[in-house]
Amino acid sequence: MITKEQIEKIRSVPITELLKKQGYSPVEGKHGRGVWYKAPWRDESEPSLKVCPELNVWFDYGAHVGGDCISLVQYHHNKGFPQACELIQSLMDGMVFDSTPIELPKYTRAKQETVSYSYLKEEAIHSASILRYLESRRISRKIADRYCVELHYGKTHSEHYYSLAFKTGEESYELRNSNFKGCIGPKCIAIIDNEYSRSDEQPKACIVFEGFFNMLTYVQLLQQRSPMCVTEYPCDMIVLNSAGFVPQAQPIFDQYDRIHCYLDNDKTGHEKTHEILDRNSGRAVDESYRYRCYNDLNDYLCGVMQEPLDDPPPDI
Residue 206, C-beta contacts closer than 8 angstroms, at least 6 positions apart: 235, 236, 237, 238, 252, 253, 256, 258, 259, 260
Euclidean distance between CA atoms 260 and 288, whole angstroms = 9
Exposed / middle / buried, residue 301 (Cβ in 10 Å: 0-12, 13-18, 19+): buried
Given a cut of 60, whether residue 56 has pLDDT beyond it is yes
Query: Residue 225: what residue type?
Result: R
Mean pLDDT of 169-189: 84
Average pLDDT, stretch 248-274? 93
End-to-end Cα distance, the chain: 52
pLDDT for 309 equals 44
Pairing of strands 190-192, 205-209: unpaired
Q: How far apart are CA 30 and CA 32, in angstroms?
A: 7
pLDDT per residue over 119-176, tens digit each? 789 999 999 999 999 999 999 999 999 999 999 988 766 678 899 999 987 778 999 9
Distance (Å, whole) CA 100 – CA 5: 8
